[in-house]
Structure 1
């Protein structure tokens, strides 16, 4: 199971990298909505990683990143997620309080799957936003990633 999650996080990191590259090539497309959604995606991964590691997150759900910060943030969160995969048991339960003050418990496996699903959802929203800005969307579907069997970097 850990190998599968490692592949999912490689996919997630690679798609994020492609999106960051696209935004660097078309800076006019980094609209307020694209910035909000992409920042939120990175913030959420960091917050979930922090919950698993029982540490305080460095920033909140809606912290905004500048375009030139995105690559470093993507790499840091990817490394953090891989460290969790290497050092944690996926069936362990994590207790946490969400941003609304509600208490929950979930397995690390469920949390990590949620992180990937959440990222995929928001990447789709960002691609729709970029299309509205006149930018041709890029393929970030999992199956496209697996067909090449190599990272999309």
Structure 2
């Protein structure tokens, strides 16, 4: 679980790096903001699935404003820290049954869900960086190695 904890520390750091760029050029980065909103809303949806709360998974592509993104980052970080503090390592392999955004039912271990959450953001931050470059902006350094240095 230590690796997963570290991945989540990186996830929160990387989200803050992306937020900083979006705050400086919000009006020019609609697609970037949409992708970033998706990352943040999906983090919330997955945690709610793990802890058994109802979700509005259909809203994972809602575009948030920059202030809402900032609040969502802080909220996600706080909720995940609380979750990790209450999760005994031996419960990481507990199976969770949930429905995805199309209503299909799946059963997956907490460990695998947490790994997915951490990796999901990498994928979309890569898309954001590609879009930044195409729009004439410098991509944001969010690599894990940059974080640990």
When normalised by structure 2's length, the TM-score is: 0.90
- Cα distance between partner residues in 2 of 1:141 and 1:84: 25
Count residues in correspondence. Answer: 145
Q: Does the Cα contact within 8 Å between 1:48 and 1:115 map onto a contact in 2? A: yes
Q: CA deviation at 1:58?
A: 5.9
- Cα distance between partner residues in 1 of 2:15 and 2:28: 15
Report whether the alignment pairs 1:30 with 2:29.
yes
Q: 2:117 aligns with which of 103, 115, 118?
A: 115
Partner of 2:49: 51
Structure 2 unaligned residues grouped into runs of 5+: none
Partner of 2:84: 85
Task: Report the aligned-residue RMSD.
Answer: 1.4
Q: Does the Cα contact within 8 Å between 2:22 and 2:33 map onto a contact in 1? A: no
- Cα distance between partner residues in 1 of 2:13 and 2:50: 23
Q: What are the equivalent positions in structure 2 for 1:138-149 lying under 5 Å apart? A: 138-146=140-148, 148=149
Structure 1 runs of 4+ with >3 Å offset: none
Deviations 1:100-121 (A, max 9, x none): 1111000111001000110000
Counterpart of 1:57 in 2: which secondary structure? coil
When normalised by structure 1's length, the TM-score is: 0.88
- Cα distance between partner residues in 2 of 1:72 and 1:4: 26
Q: CA deviation at 1:35?
A: 1.9
- Cα distance between partner residues in 2 of 1:66 and 1:40: 12
- Cα distance between partner residues in 1 of 2:41 and 2:60: 5
Q: CA deviation at 1:28?
A: 3.7
